[in-house]
Amino acid sequence: MNYFVSSLTELLARFIVLFTAITVHEYAHGWAAYKMGDPTAKYAGRLSLNPMSHLDPVGALCMLLFRFGWAKPVPINPMYFRDRKRDSAIVAAAGPLANIALAFVSTILFALYYVYIYLNFQNFVTRFVYTLFMQLAVVNISFAVFNLIPFPPLDGSKILGAFLSYENYGKLLQYERFGFPVLILLSLTGILGRILSLFINPLFSLWLASLNGLVSIFM
């Protein structure tokens, strides 16, 4: 029974965290595009922190079950940009940067919560919030790293495009429609997870060391 409750609690926390990470990520794309002169996301109702505005039901289910999924992409029209490559890269970078910022804030809150509340009060609610803060930091770090992979249609490919010639940038965009099925295949075969672990594991070690340092400061 305890195992069931623990699993259900972890699933609920993951559900909340994934929706938060996706919402912040997609909102940041839309906000950056709007600041670059593109009102498409605003007119589509995507400049919102309401998770339902960004939810893709199948993508959300896949994230919960397989830890790989997707949200509804924020509509962007690069024709509004002054410099298509540069501004597209800025808009693309906004999503992962928002996740990194959320992970940073979550880590500080996690350390404060652990020292001043969790160590003094042990019950179902405090354990749930503990899990929530921990996953909020971990998932946002993972989400940022994944989206920074320079492989279309991920954000990293748009950032890479800023450093390519217009000819090569155009060729890169041609492969966007093939990239998503390839990512799903790599995920199902476990190859994607092994590639991500090369980058995420060192970052998690750094995150854990930073968390321990914060806890030491607050205690």
Active site positions, annotated? 26
CA distances to 60, 62, 66, 184 from 16, in Å: 11, 15, 16, 23
Q: At 69, list the tokens.
A: 């999924």
Residue with tokens 């940009």: 81
CA distances to 90, 96, 131 from 83, in Å: 10, 21, 43
Identify residue 138 by its one-letter amino acid code: V
Do residues 211 and 118 make contact, with C-beta atoms less than 8 angstroms apart? no
H helix intervals, 36-154:
40-43, 57-66, 84-113, 124-147
